[in-house]
Amino acid sequence: MGLPGIWVALLMTPRARFRGRKWNLLDLVTAAVFASMHVLALFGPFYFNWSALWVALALVYVTGLGITLSYHRNLAHRSFRLPKLLEYLFAYFAVLSAQGSPIDWVSTHRYHHQYTDTEKDAHSPLKGFWFSHMGWILDSNARFGRYGGLRNVEDLKRQAFYRFLHNTYLLHSIILGGILYAVGGFPFIVWGMGVRMVYVFHGTLLVNSAGHIWGYQAWKTSDLSKNLWWLALVAFGEGWHNNHHAFEYSARQGLEWWQFDLTWYIIKFLEALGLATDVKVPSEAHKKRKALETKTTMAAMK
């Protein structure tokens, strides 16, 4: 798709994508959860207190890093290993973000890398910005139907813990909400659930949408992935997305010293403690080969 075509796709409205389609029960439940957290977040200015804010910030980091460190780098890409109990703990933190079970999330992401920015990609901006950002979440067929189910996560499906989370993942957020209400009343619900979940949700979703639209490409990857500095700040280091697609096995996405990557710093800390092992990063030889490939491609385009 040429540049004008991309901008037409970006301007496509959600209505253009969902008009006339059939909604199944999973899509309706997902839409209800998504709408509820946004409505809840709107109460934020009216139920503000400092305790609620600090609870929200703590949960932003716990659940946000659960997504980037556990779901993404540990489970989806196997970029490093953790002791099983610690692996399960970080996965549980991610579950509390209500972004899906480990099995669902990892399956979608692995398919994304297999079919990046093609018709079979679950959330490419070629289908429109709004679809790549959040419309795909409301279309389970876009996520699973075209691939024939969860066939690329047998490593997780073999583990009872992940099967348990797959069948109960929303229950854990409900339990967390009950605890927050018991401790701090409605302000803790508004900030600890609504505001926090909206931030973490859109931080993750911007990697799928903005991370394939704006920014720059440091490496030739045959897709639209971009490096975007402000997204790295919002999404715990995930904004160096072109780096990630160039070296998807790498636990480190901010490859330069100035590329802020909070998730990588946590992984390095765990490695220093002897908890994170088999930590994968691209070798200098691999980076040089990739850089040469990129320069050759750019020269051919001139």
Report how far apart, in Å, the C-alpha atoms of 155 and of each of 103, 106, 112, 139, 168 are: 9, 11, 18, 25, 19
Q: Which SS3 state, helix, strand or coil, does residue 81 take? A: strand
Q: Say what percent of the chain tops pLDDT 90.
A: 74
Question: For residue 104, how far is the Cα from the chain centroid?
Answer: 12
Which residues is 238 bridged to in the sheet? none
Q: Report the distance separating Cα 207 and Cα 212, nearest Å.
A: 7
Instruction: Compute the average pLDDT of residues 91-107.
Output: 96
Q: Which one-letter amino acid corresponds to residue 274?
A: G
**pLDDT digits over 207-237, tens only?**
999 999 999 999 999 999 999 999 999 999 9
Q: Report the distance separating Cα 28 and Cα 20, nearest Å.
A: 15
Residue labelled with tokens 């549980």: 92
Which of 32-36, 158-162, 227-231 shows the lowest mean pLDDT across its residues? 32-36
Q: For the chain, how long is the longest CA-to-CA vector? A: 64
DSSP 279: -
CA dihedral 195, 16, 137, 221 (to 10 degrees): -100
Which of 50-64, 107-121, 231-245, 260-274 shows the lowest mean pLDDT across its residues? 107-121
Confidence of residue 298 (pLDDT cuts 50, 70, 90): low
Q: What is the pLDDT of residue 1?
A: 40
Q: What is the pLDDT of residue 149?
A: 78
Q: Which one-letter amino acid corresponds to residue 209?
A: S
Tokens of 129: 């910005």
Instruction: Compute the average pLDDT of residues 144-171.
Output: 90
Q: What is the pLDDT of residue 18?
A: 58
Residue labelled with tokens 């399960």: 88
